[in-house]
Structure 1
Amino acid sequence: MTITTCGPCPTQSANLALIRRAYDAFRTRDVGALLEALAPDVEWVHPDSMSDYDLGGTKHGHAGVKAFLAHAPTVVGGMLLEPLEFVESGDRVVVFGVRHVTSVSGRTEQLSFVHSWTLRDGRAARMEDVFDTAAFKRLIER
């Protein structure tokens, strides 16, 4: 098991490098680069309780991820992910971080997240997002 913080790491594994590239792509809104990190049949999983906003459940494949990313800005005014710690074990990378979420009314809050990435053949086959959905809902419903 390897634990690293968010700074550069010259000895990082291929899996860890891939996940860091995915976060960089998300930060720069480069959907093409993000999709390059994801397997074509990726499972993009968010808590079912976010289904009221069409953000919950499992999205399948690149089309599902693109649809999710296109829909999210209709629910939130903005979002920035700040990965803080990466834990790697075999084909799993778990990321602990903070998301800076801005509501459509302009209020921004920091909400913790845990992302569990499962890799297969050099690409992310599954990403599961775990977070406090009650806090997220309070922010976007204000």
Structure 2
Amino acid sequence: MDAVPADPLDPDVALVLGCYAAYARGDIAAAIAPLHPDVEWIEPEEFPNGGRRRGPAAVADYLRASHALWSELHSEPVPYRLGADIVIVHHAHGRLTDGTPQDLTVADVFTLRGGQVIRMRAYADPAEAVEAAREP
């Protein structure tokens, strides 16, 4: 990736990183707190429980189900600002509830307005996320 990591003191970046920290500790209420009431949340169909969701309650259901797959989770998000969007390259590793080790890197593109997340789209391939964020 040729993008430069974002300043973690950027208020939008700090807000998104706070969501990741809340998710990692299982605090789904805090993870969805900055979501707009009409947020659009899109996960790849190939992800467990993937698909499109609208609204914080639907996102919370997805995040709870996702977090429940892990018995041990280490979350390492790295933020990049590309124009108005924030791209998070997320390295997650640990153990699933069945004991299987898991180590993956994905990317999420966040669009914020007025201090709220209005859209998030996840990508299995971080390079696709960067390309999507660069498109006008």
User: Which TM-score band (shorter chain)?
Assistant: 0.7 to 0.9
SS in 2 for 1:70: helix
Q: Does 1:100 align with 2:93?
A: yes
Task: State the Cα RMSD in Å.
Answer: 2.3
The correspondence of residues 1-142 of structure 1 with structure 2, limited to 5 A, is 3-4=4-5, 9=8, 12-50=9-47, 53=48, 55-73=49-67, 76-78=69-71, 79-83=73-77, 85-100=78-93, 102-131=95-124
Give the aligned residue type for 1:39.
Answer: H
1:68 is displaced (CA, Å) by: 0.9
Larger Rg: 1
1:114 is displaced (CA, Å) by: 0.8
Give the aligned residue type for 2:62.
Answer: F
Distance verdict in 2 for CA 1:73–1:124, change over 3 Å? closer
Q: Distance in 1 between matches of 2:64 and 2:15?
A: 23
1:45 is displaced (CA, Å) by: 1.0
Question: TM-score when scaled to structure 2?
Answer: 0.76
Unmatched segments (≥5 aa) in structure 1: 133-142
1:43 is displaced (CA, Å) by: 1.4
Q: Distance in 2 between matches of 1:87 and 1:38?
A: 19
Q: Deviations over 1:38-71 (max 9, x none)?
A: 1111112111233xx5x11111101111211233
Residue pair 1:40, 1:61 contacting (<8 A) in 2 also: yes
Residue pair 2:86, 2:110 contacting (<8 A) in 1 also: yes
Q: Distance in 2 between matches of 1:20 and 1:64?
A: 20
Unmatched segments (≥5 aa) in structure 2: 126-136
